[in-house]
Amino acid sequence: MTPESKTQGTMLLISGPSGSGKSTICKRLLEDSQVVFSVSATTRTIREGEVHGRDYFFLDKEEFRAKVEAGEFLEWAEVYGNLYGTLREPMENAISEGFVYLVEIDVQGALQLRSLGEPGLYVFIAPPSFEVLEARLRGRGSESEETLKRRLGKAEDEYRERHRYHHVVINDDLEDAIQEVRTIAGLPETGSAKS
């Protein structure tokens, strides 16, 4: 894995409401060998199919707290009773080696990094409209009407924060959205990156 043409990499932060398609975009970006994924640490229990070090670094609360004390996190937050955090060291290493360091994070975490002045490209992925967002969330099928309403409300709150990002990418056509993010990150046109 050798990044081409760049000496210094960059953080590429991607966030947006659930249903915006940000995870799909991130998965596709990761097909490029110049892109490295930021693996967060969490205290939540490991789910079936997840791998320690790939999906998350699974820590107990004491280990997590020790890392907080030691200043090892760029940011951390409590989400649904569990702790989650972005580790500083892997990001610094990857950026110094010239990689695009992809941080997929919720809006709360993104704004925390922004207000701390963390350098990088902040990209907000937006759905084409709230009707589309609602249809996408309904399409997942697993949620009650109440949960859906709550998620939609949260998505609207998050959408209001989009001006705090450097770029807003509207995910109407997936391929166009991926290309737009690649251009923002200075990655070559799709096709040349894949073998």
Task: List interacting residues with ligand 5GP (CB under 6 A).
Answer: 40, 44, 75, 77, 79, 84-86, 105-106, 108-109
* Beta carbon of residue 98, minimum distance to ligand 5GP (angstroms, whole number): 23
* Beta carbon of residue 108, minimum distance to ligand 5GP (angstroms, whole number): 6
In the complex with ligand 5GP, the residue whose CB is nearer, 84 or 124, is 84
Helix pair 174-184, 22-29: axis angle to 10 deg: 60
In the complex with ligand 5GP, the residue whose CB is nearer, 26 or 181, is 26
Chain residue whose CB lies nearest ligand 5GP:
109
In the complex with ligand 5GP, the residue whose CB is nearer, 10 or 86, is 86
* Beta carbon of residue 125, minimum distance to ligand 5GP (angstroms, whole number): 13
